[in-house]
Amino acid sequence: MTGIDLHLPISEDAIRSLHVGDQVRLYGIVITARDAAHKYIMDSFIKPAAIPESELNLYTELQRLWRGGAVYHCGPVVSRDATGRWRFVSAGPTTSIREEPYEAHVIEHFGVRAVIGKGGMGAKTLAACQQHGAAYLHAVGGAATLIGRSIPEVIAVYKKEEFGVPEAFWVVRAEGLPAVVTMDAHGQSLHEQMWESSKAKLQELLG
């Protein structure tokens, strides 16, 4: 896949130079987070006036890694070798719209620059991307094994026992994770454009 190499952490200028349709490859630290993780973030870190002391270590780590970093909506399939080291067998994207109630807050609070998933997101996330300098990157559904090969290292995992493997925070190193910019920092959404185009075509056919 040809395209633009993005090295994490990503600067705001680099994100604002992207436009819908750009093909990218991600290099660096990515953290997975799905439904349980996003709800936990809101309830434990964003809504409370103070961070619970028991959760302070994870909060500090997320603050460090997500500043200019990437969140991946992904429920991986993992294995563990004889030494106890984890690896991703497959890493397909999860449908992102489920995180729409949370993602704008996560982008603002943690300084996230890239949201990776499939299917696109809504108006709140698009507005946050434009305001804070972030982009939504569409990973190819059905290419879970291929994407898994672009994640050669699992660095850490958090909340696995509490949330389960698919919902845990997996901190991984990406080497050329392929994606397409479908929501940019200029207020453009390829998903919205396709929706409007499809509606217009339907009206034409119904004529």
- CA 117 to chain CA mean position, Å: 6
Average pLDDT over residues 100-125: 97
pLDDT at 140: 85
Q: Which domains does the chain have, with CATH numbers?
A: 4-206 (3.20.130.10)
Instruction: For residues 205 and 172, give the distance between their C-alpha atoms in angstroms, rounded to a whole number.
Output: 47
Burial status of residue 54 (CB atoms within 10 A of its CB: 0-12, 13-18, 19 or more): exposed
**3-class secondary structure, 103:** helix
Enumerate residues 6+ apart whose C-beta is below 8 A from 156. 61, 170, 171
The single residue listed with the structure tokens 């080497």 is 175
Query: Do the Cβ atoms of 44 and 187 come closer than 8 Å?
Result: no
Residue spans of alpha helices (H) in the chain: 12-16, 35-41, 56-66, 100-110, 123-132, 144-149, 160-163, 190-206
pLDDT digits over 165-199, tens only? Answer: 999 999 999 999 999 999 999 999 998 766 555 55
Residue 207 has pLDDT above 80, yes or no: no
**Residues involved in catalysis:** 38
pLDDT at 54: 93
Query: Do the Cβ atoms of 30 and 69 come closer than 8 Å?
Result: yes
Residue 80 has pLDDT above 90, yes or no: yes
Average pLDDT over residues 11-39: 97
Mean per-residue pLDDT of the chain? 93
